[in-house]
Chains A and B, each alone.
Chain A
Amino acid sequence: MTKSISALLSCTFLLATPAFADMSEACLADLSGERVTFVVPNAPGGGYDTYARALAPEFEAATGSTVRVVNNSGGGGLVARSLVLNSSSDDVFLLIENYLDLIINIDTGVDSSDGVPHFQMERFRPLGLVNFGPDAWLGVPGTDIFDPSITTMVSSQGGIDGSLLAFVAPAIALGIEPEVIAGYDGTSEMASAVLRGETDLTTMSLTSALKKASGGDLQILMTISDGPVAGHEDIPYLAGEGSVSWARTEGLDPAERDRLRGFAVMAATIGGEVRGFLAGAHLSEARLGCLSEAMDVAIASPVFAETAMAQGRPVNGVSAADTVALVERATAAFLTYGDEYNSLLEAVQ
């Protein structure tokens, strides 16, 4: 069985820690005095912005470069990606992004049928991760998502296809009839809809869900993972031994059971968020190597971890080399479930 990204990363992190090291003389000479821009494809104040701003001083200290953080959410984040892919070698732009959004694009490629270009992962060079984690379902305390008499309402930002891995696939695995109410403006509005009773639950990253649930008005119902999440072992999880879907499918016809569990594993494997930095692959190998080195040093800085954590943003860093390997494995995992993913996508569209 394919291991989930979370599990892979957990192993990777342990192995990767010693890979962080000081920068080489050659790379110090290469980056010292250069101007580097961290491009955040979202508004200030959110998770990506927090990581970028907390990392910037550490990156500066490691390289002697000057780092500025800019927020550019234009074109739904496409402008930020374009800025990075068009940056010159003497004015480096680095993007902080959810890698999985890019990995999913491998199957669609540059698709102009809807007028929006997609950017594939191979156009970027992974430089290291700052955080990864599963998605979670959020509802009011006491929500019974398995009540067969109701259609479960889900508040969502985008259309139903945008909720494919976070909600639709897990819902199928659990035998829940879904009804997505799409078009809410961000995670706060999605959570408000649950509080108002318009919807039964909503989905978002576990990090965001923990923040929303901190006041006690909302509760995390389940993580979309294939095992308990470290530090949150009391929260039910979707796939794997002891999971919600395993319990729900127990006793079914083996073929049907495997089919449903397959959806759970797919959601836990290729869903979630994997936040890290990327450079444009068009930069020279030497420059990319130095940027990877610099990012290794900056991400490993305890000051970065403390600063981000203080703002409710946990850091579980992964070195550049291990991130490259991770991306290859995640890509393979996506291709493993590509057919199911595409059939699901076609079904909901």
Chain B
Amino acid sequence: MGYFEALAQGLGNVLSFPNIMIPIAGTLIAMATSFLPGVGITGLAALLMLATINWEPESVLLLFGALTGGATFMGSITAILFNIPGNSSSAATLLDGHPLSKQGKAKMAIAASATASAMGSVVGVFVLMAAMPIVRPFILEFGPLERLLLGIWGLTTIVAVPNTSALKVLAVSFAGLLAAAIGHDPTTAMPRWSFGSYELFDGLDTIAMLLGFFTISEIIGWRKDFRISEVADMSAGGDGLRSGIWAVFRHYRLMIRSSLIGTVVGIIPGVGGTVAGFVAYGQAIQSAKTGRENFGKGDIRGLIAPESAIDAKDGGSLLPALAFGLPGSEAGIILVTVFMVHGLVPGTPMLTVNLDLTFTLVMALLLSNLLTSLVGVTIAPALARLTRLRIDRIALPVLIASLVTVVQLNGLLIDLYVAVAFGVFGYLLKHFEWPRVPFVIAFVLAGFIESNAALATQLFAVDKLSLFERPAAMVILALIAASLLWMLRQSGQPKDPHPAPPYAILLPSVLAVTSLVFSVMALTSSNGYSTYAIGLAVGATVAFVAVVIREWHVGVDHDRAAGDDVTGAGIPRSHLGPMIALAGFAAAIPLFGLEIAAGVLVALWRLGNTAKGGPLVTALYALLTALTTFYYVERFTTALLPTPIVPMPWY
């Protein structure tokens, strides 16, 4: 079967009736599922694989192509509206997406996100179709060295964060790399900074970290009558569907560039959407001719770039599974199994004799992405209204739901503590005007960089790798060099010109001591910490000590010292209530269990915020929360919850 004949056949398979109903249903199911806590799209796909075992291959590929495309976009909606990343891929989306919501431009942000996703998907699919005949040798060009360099390229986007002290950027980047190193060594599998707890063996969960770092830290800064959207009139300030859609076409070069980045990243097995999002975000800043300082504060370009890249990646990520039967992700594993169930052989046959089926899958993916975006634009006005709700009406339910369901991620209570700890840490960084994005980028990319660096080092040592024989590596190296050159050009600009308030030295001091403890542990442990791990800990210690010295050197601005409305540590007294409630919640879990602790959180929260209705209503809310949590834990979670110190009849 010829190329265009197969393409026409694939398109016909998708568009004919009743076939077209399958990707539509698959898309809607995937969109709905990605909103449900604890039900991942991969779990759903595994269930559907069994349910469709007797289907025709065309129908199955229509369904699974739609499932692959349907889930990606919905993670961005929660990121834009509530600062909650629906999946780790959407971490880059919230950097500018949520600030747009706070400016009252949620509708515009969702419309731009949906349009960028659709366009990214189209670019990704077209590149996929064009590359199909030549893709096999291309995929084999990407080994550990290329992936390592790609990760480093992503890391160089850290320096693209404008208006921040380079020293602080360096220090928090080290902190991010160090936090991600907790768990175990990827090569030797020896525990590393796990404090004897096997719950930490797999490291700190990215979703739990992001939830704390962005969502909980935001909620701590809650104030009464504060809305997510600070603009009362939602139709004002250019917040409209058309302006969101138009913004993507206005920045079409950025969209195409980001989509190509996403596609290439997708083709490389095992890289994933998170890297695609951050690399695209970084190049958006670096390529911006004007207004770089607006990134992170609600710049539409900071939303378009990651959204285009994340959806374009879906097309590229099909290639390794199709060309070699080598899945690069959990979704890919499902897809390869689907191939097997229905007698399809991944590899050359999928690109030759079964090319029509391959195009069926690709077209279903494209249709699904377009449909998801259409639904996204359609429901954008309704979703945008959520930002007009008073935050005191949604903050507590969001907080409780987040903290209780985060336990379901890995069945570990430690994820809840990780979320709370990073909530406080993220709040402190924000409050003391430290850059937060470098920490997140470093944390997300650290494991990827370390594991590929370890592999590349081993391959270099046995003469199996030579930089000069790897053209793809040379290209990425050139991109890194360009990124660093850009950084050097920027370094002349003054940053942090103001003397710090007296309490500003507290945070870097605490982080310096913490890093020092990590260094001592790494240097004295019998587990044999790698040079990389020791370097991170020592590097973080040196960087934070340097920040402390610099703060002393710059001097203290006593006018910015604590006043009546702030504590001695510079934290507004109005922010202490949520932090005390969270501390009480964390302390109540080992004492009374998760269910009662959830009730305690509600009670402390309401009491700390002079809630209406008095103690009786507060007690009623606390009881309802405890009962709901009990029901959720009993019916839906399979977590390893420790028996509380105070005996509870249901434990």
Please determine whether B42 and A43 come into contact, CB atoms closer than 8 angstroms.
yes
Please determine whether A50 and B349 come into contact, CB atoms closer than 8 angstroms.
no
Residue B194 lies at the interface, judged by CB distance under 8 Å to chain A: yes
Please determine whether A181 and B459 come into contact, CB atoms closer than 8 angstroms.
yes
Please determine whether A75 and B638 come into contact, CB atoms closer than 8 angstroms.
no
Please determine whether B324 and A183 come into contact, CB atoms closer than 8 angstroms.
no
Within 8 A of A (CB), among B307-356: 320, 324-328, 330, 332-334, 336-337, 340-341, 345-349
Q: Find A195's partner among B140, B189, B199 (CB 8 Å cutoff).
A: B140
Residues of A near any B CB (own CB < 8 A): 37, 39, 43-46, 49-50, 53-54, 70-76, 78-79, 82-83, 86, 93, 112-117, 151, 153, 158-159, 162, 179, 181-185, 188-189, 191-193, 195-199, 211-212, 214-217, 307, 310-312
CB of A192, distance to nearest CB on chain B (Å): 5
Please determine whether B451 and A185 come into contact, CB atoms closer than 8 angstroms.
yes
Please determine whether B186 and A183 come into contact, CB atoms closer than 8 angstroms.
yes
> Which B residues touch A74, using CB under 8 A?
199, 202, 410-412, 640
> Which B residues touch A215, using CB under 8 A?
324-325, 345-349
- CA–CA, A70 to B407, complex, Å? 14
Residue B191 lies at the interface, judged by CB distance under 8 Å to chain A: yes
**Chain A: CB-nearest residue to B334:** A45
Please determine whether B40 and A72 come into contact, CB atoms closer than 8 angstroms.
no
Please determine whether A44 and B326 come into contact, CB atoms closer than 8 angstroms.
no
- CA–CA, A191 to B269, complex, Å? 12
Given A71-B43, A74-B410, A311-B341, also A54-B50 (CB < 8 A): yes
**Chain B: CB-nearest residue to A216:** B347
CB of A69, distance to nearest CB on chain B (Å): 8
Please determine whether B527 and A115 come into contact, CB atoms closer than 8 angstroms.
yes
Please determine whether B45 and A45 come into contact, CB atoms closer than 8 angstroms.
yes
> Which A residues touch B187, using CB under 8 A?
159, 182-183
Residue B270 lies at the interface, judged by CB distance under 8 Å to chain A: yes
Residue B222 lies at the interface, judged by CB distance under 8 Å to chain A: no
Given A45-B42, A310-B53, A312-B337, also A79-B640 (CB < 8 A): yes
**Chain B: CB-nearest residue to A212:** B325
> Which A residues touch B613, using CB under 8 A?
none
Please determine whether B410 and A183 come into contact, CB atoms closer than 8 angstroms.
no
**Chain A: CB-nearest residue to B347:** A215
> Which A residues touch B20, using CB under 8 A?
none
User: Chain A interface mostly helix, strand, loop or mixed?
Assistant: mixed
- CA–CA, A76 to B455, complex, Å? 20
CB of A63, distance to nearest CB on chain B (Å): 19
Given A198-B465, A214-B346, also A312-B340 (CB < 8 A): yes
- CA–CA, A37 to B638, complex, Å? 9
Please determine whether A44 and B42 come into contact, CB atoms closer than 8 angstroms.
yes
CB of B465, distance to nearest CB on chain A (Å): 7
- CA–CA, A37 to B451, complex, Å? 34
Could you give 12 example pairs across A and B, Cβ below 8 Å?
A: A44-B334, A45-B333, A76-B201, A153-B462, A159-B189, A181-B455, A182-B188, A189-B326, A192-B326, A215-B348, A307-B53, A311-B337
CB of B518, distance to nearest CB on chain A (Å): 15
CB of B368, distance to nearest CB on chain A (Å): 19
Please determine whether A311 and B49 come into contact, CB atoms closer than 8 angstroms.
yes
CB of A182, distance to nearest CB on chain B (Å): 5
> Which A residues touch B410, using CB under 8 A?
72-74, 79
**Chain B: CB-nearest residue to A86:** B640
**Chain B: CB-nearest residue to A157:** B189
Please determine whether A82 and B640 come into contact, CB atoms closer than 8 angstroms.
yes
Within 8 A of A (CB), among B107-142: 140
- CA–CA, A289 to B323, complex, Å? 48
- CA–CA, A82 to B340, complex, Å? 33
Given A181-B458, A216-B347, also A83-B638 (CB < 8 A): yes
Given A43-B333, A75-B201, also A214-B191 (CB < 8 A): no
Please determine whether A115 and B326 come into contact, CB atoms closer than 8 angstroms.
no
Q: Find B189's partner among A39, A158, A216 (CB 8 Å cutoff).
A: A158
> Which B residues touch A39, using CB under 8 A?
638
**Chain A: CB-nearest residue to B40:** A44
Q: Find B198's partner among A72, A116, A199 (CB 8 Å cutoff).
A: A116
Within 8 A of A (CB), among B186-224: 186-191, 194, 196-199, 201-202
3 nearest A-B pairs in the assembled complex, by CB-CB distance? A215-B347, A74-B410, A45-B333
> Which B residues touch A151, using CB under 8 A?
462
CB of A316, distance to nearest CB on chain B (Å): 18
Residue among B198, B332, B345 facing the most chain A CB atoms (10 A cut-off): B198
- CA–CA, A49 to B42, complex, Å? 11
CB of A168, distance to nearest CB on chain B (Å): 15
> Which A residues touch B526, using CB under 8 A?
113
